[in-house]
Each structure stands twice: as structure tokens, then as C-alpha cells.
Structure 1
Amino acid sequence: MDTTRRGFFGAIGQVTIGAAATVAGATSAAEAASEDGHVPHWGMVVDLRKCIGCQACTVACIMENHVPEDAFRTHVSVYELVKDGHDPAMVMLPRLCNHCDDPPCIPVCPVEATFKAENGEVLVDADKCVGCAYCVQACPYDARFINHETQTADKCTFCFHRTQSGLLPACVETCVGGARNFGDLNDPGSEVATLLRENEVSVLRPEMHTNPNVYYIGLDDVLQGRVAGEAAYHPEMPAEVTHHGEGL
């Protein structure tokens, strides 16, 4: 299997991002906040029953956010799960920053570069960040990395630049199975709020009490702690670098 980025792009085919797609329930965060003082609180619900592991979300994120060659802001970990004597089954686990309401990455930052935005996103001020990696170590979701090009902490931002313009995050817009759902958790009529009401949902690492804003439908209990899994696609790395993943 060709695991280089070029080979992966060729295998998956062309990814088309529809620029007209908008965040459900609001044309932009600013306009939504101006209506009756309502402030959206963005969240994501991932329906694992629909994820096919195509990695279109991974590619869209790389292209949209210029993610460097050896890193991911989001990707889909793939596991082989054997349970109750049944035949092995391939299960998918899309992963990204959980944009926690109580993020452990914020208090450890010595220069206050990591902060919580008005709409719930956890962001990094690259002008302040000194690249100490304290936040990388503090994240219980293995969702941060030091960008070797900028020498600052990097991570998923829920595509802040897109949501501020009324667009969906690139990974959501590109999800071919409709597994990723994004919207305002504070709006009871939003798709994400409806999914949370009508389905049994789980979060990763619930024992950490971070109050994440990424929820999963159909998450097997055995996967709740699997946050350091190996992605199905690996960027090309120097020969001396060894990648260690974890298996079940």
C-alpha cells in the first residue's frame, strides 16, 4: 500500500469541498450572537454507524489548514475489534481536538497562548506560543502537536476561520457518509442537539472530566480510552523515524 501523501490522494480520488455549505442554524457566529443575545456553542456529533473510514475528512483538513507533512489535526483511527466470540470487525474512530469546556491544556500554558473562544473553541495564539509542548503533554486526547514549520502548538480549531464566515468545518463538509455533524449545542433545534437528545452518546476518556464537545454515537466501550491509535494513512517520514501505534 502506498502510504505517502501523494499516493493517498491518488487512491482516494479528488476531494470536492462545496463552498456554499453553511453551519446549520446560523449564517455566521457574529450574526447568530446578535439575534436575541444568543451565543452559539459549537460542538460535533460523530455517528460511527455511518463512518466508512474513507479518510476524506483527513485529506480535507490537511488541504484546508495546510497541515505539515508529519502531522494531523484530525484523522480516523482504524481498529480490528473481536468481541463476544464473533468474527473480527473493522471499526472506525474519527479523532480530533475535543474542544473541552474544562480543557487541561489551558492552565499548563505558561504564556496563556491557549485559550477558550466565545463559541467554545479551544484555540492557540501562535504569536504568543513558545513551543514548550506543555499543552501537548496535557491533552488527554493526543490531539495536539508541535508544528515543525512554525515551532508552535497546532491542533484542530473546528475550522474557526470557516465558521466565522458561516461555513462548516472542512471535515464535516467533506464527510461522504454524513458521519460528522456540527452545529450549535445551545440551540435545541439544531441537528447536533437533536442527535444528542435522540441517541445514546459517549465521549472519549470520560474519566478525565474535561466536558468535551465532541460526542460519539455507537462508540464501543472498549474504544473510549483509545486515543493514541494509529491512523490508516501515514505521511512519508524519514527512514530513521519509527512510528509506534497501539493495538487492541
Structure 2
Amino acid sequence: MLGLGAAATVIPITPVKAAIGDQPPRRPGMPGKRYGMLVDLRKCIGCQACTVSCSIENQAPIGQFRTTVLQYEVNMPDQSQAAMLSLPRLCNHCDTPPCVPVCPVQATFQREDGIVLVDNERCVGCGYCVQACPYDARFINHETQTADKCTFCEHRLEVGLLPACVESCVGGARVIGDLNDKNSEISRRMAENQADVKVLKPGQGTKPHVFYIGLPDEFVDGIDGQASVRLLDI
């Protein structure tokens, strides 16, 4: 019969609860900055260069991805043939990330510049953050057995480089920058296209900081999972 030895330590695990409003203090980041990403779907050609470059840069296990481009086959009422929509997906680095407060060991945390990261030395692989994320942007790394996701390539940002996905984007669809700087490219583009800028699942109250231009209204709240091809009737 198997049981706990007398010296065994039992770590209490808090039930999964997306306590969005109960955010712990942010940790230091790049002072004065608030990073966000803008994805212009009018320029995305679905080539998956971002997916490949991210995998090479961050060495995610085969079959697991920090970012990818989902392909949607859309049935348009006024067209005989379905249209295809390419939708890049990644961690939304939310302003009130539900993945942070549910972590029982505080391995998932947010920096002052808005970037959400995982301390793999603390993570116990419980998967609570994976369940709490409404954007299906997290996974348990098959090799490390800890939580994994997009980091905005913060190791590149800190030395003045672009994230791998932005640098490799063939159509220039991805833009990253400081939202606190009104003169940054991302702030300028968002101001120019203010009426067309949308986020995924705004009703979740997470305040995502990955923004989209050209996102059909039907996709705003109707996106789930990581399937590569889906059929959507509009």
C-alpha cells in the first residue's frame, strides 16, 4: 500500500479561479514602458514564418508553439466560394491576466512593462494557468514539464531587437512597441486605424494588449482552441 511518509511535505493547492481583479504586485521590467503588439490582418498571408522563427528562437518542443497562425475557412453569404482568413495567435499579455493570480507558487508573473512571464524554476506544472487563460495561449512544455507561452521575446527587446515573429513577418503584419510612447510605430498605427482596432474576447475583462486590425466581428468572441483549419459561417 502506498502512502505519504512521515517526512513528506504536502503543498496546498488553491482551486483554479480566474481572480482577475486580485492581481499581485508587478515585478520590475523596462521602466516607463508598456509593450503591446498590433497585428494587421490585411497584411497577413498565413505563411507561418512567425511560427517557424519563434520555434527556432525559443526552442519549443516539436508540435508545441508559442505563436501560430490559425487558418479559417469562412462561408460568405454573397459568395459561392469560401474565403480564407489567417489569424495569428499568441499570449495577449493582458493588463489584468487571469493566469497570474491562479498560480499557487507565483511562477507566473507580470512585469511593470506589461510582459507576462513564467519562472520555470518555480513552476510545478500544475496547469492552473493553462486552464485560466481564455486565449488558449499556454501549454505545458513536454520537455520541461512547466508552463510555456509567448514572452514577446523579452530577451530580444531588452537588447534593442524585435521579437522573432515580428522580424520574420513577410508582410509586415506584426508591430510591437511601447504604447506609452505616442510617437512609437504601434501607437501611430493604432491612432490611424482607431475605428478598426479590436481585441479578442473583450468581455473577459482581461484587457488584452495584442490588438488586431481587420478582425471580423464574428471572430471577436468566437475563437477557441488551436485547430489549424476551421469553418465559420458568417
Question: Do the structures match in fold with TM over 0.5?
Answer: yes
8 Å Cα contact 1:204/1:227 also seen in 2: no
CA displacement at 1:40 relative to structure 2: 1.3
Cα distance, 1:227 vs structure 2: 3.3
- The match for 1:198 is 192
User: Matched residues in 2 for 1:156 and 1:145: separation?
Assistant: 10
Q: 3-state DSSP class of the match of 2:211?
A: strand
Gaps of 5+ in 2: 1-28
- Selected match of 1:107 from 83, 93, 101: 101
Give the Cα–Cα distance (whole angstroms) in 2 for the partners of residues 128 and 118 of structure 1: 20
Q: Which residue of 2 aligns with 1:146?
A: 140
1:97 shift after superposition: 0.1
Alignment of 1:13-162 (within 5 A): 33=31, 39-86=32-79, 87-162=81-156
C-alpha RMSD of matched pairs (Å): 1.3
Aligned to 1:239: none
For 2:53, what is the secondary structure of its paired residue? helix
Aligned with residue 227 of structure 2, among 222, 225, 230: 230
Q: Distance in 2 between matches of 1:144 and 1:229?
A: 11
The one-letter amino acid of 1:79's match is Y
Q: For structure 1, which runs of at least 5 residues remain unmatched after alignment?
A: 1-28, 34-38, 233-245
Shift of 1:196: 1.3
Deviation for aligned residue 1:55: 0.2
The farther-off stretch of 96-105 and 189-198 is: 189-198
The alignment of Structure 1 onto Structure 2 pairs a total of residues equal to 200
Q: Is the 8 A contact 2:136 2:226 kept in 1?
A: no
Q: Distance in 1 between matches of 2:48 and 2:136?
A: 18
- Identity of counterpart residues, as a percentage? 62
Structure 2 CA distance for aligned equivalents of residues 70 and 60 of structure 1: 14
Q: Distance in 1 between matches of 2:38 and 2:82?
A: 26
Paired amino acid for 2:210? V
Q: Which residue of 1 aligns with 2:7?
A: none
Where do 4+ consecutive residues of structure 1 move more than 2 Å? Answer: none
Structure whose CA Rg is larger: 2
Residue 78 (structure 1) shift:
0.3
Instruction: Choose which of 162, 169, 174 in structure 2 pairs with 1:175.
Output: 169
Alpha-carbon distance in 2 for matches of 1:183, 1:168: 9
Instruction: Tell me the residue number matched to 1:221.
Output: 217
What SS class does the counterpart of residue 112 from structure 1 fall into? coil
Distance in 2 of aligned mates of 1:137 and 1:213: 20
TM score, norm. by length of structure 2:
0.83
Say if 1:229 and 1:247, in contact at 8 Å, map to a contact too.
no
| 1:166 positional shift | 0.8
Cα distance in 1 for partners of 2:165, 2:106 equals: 28
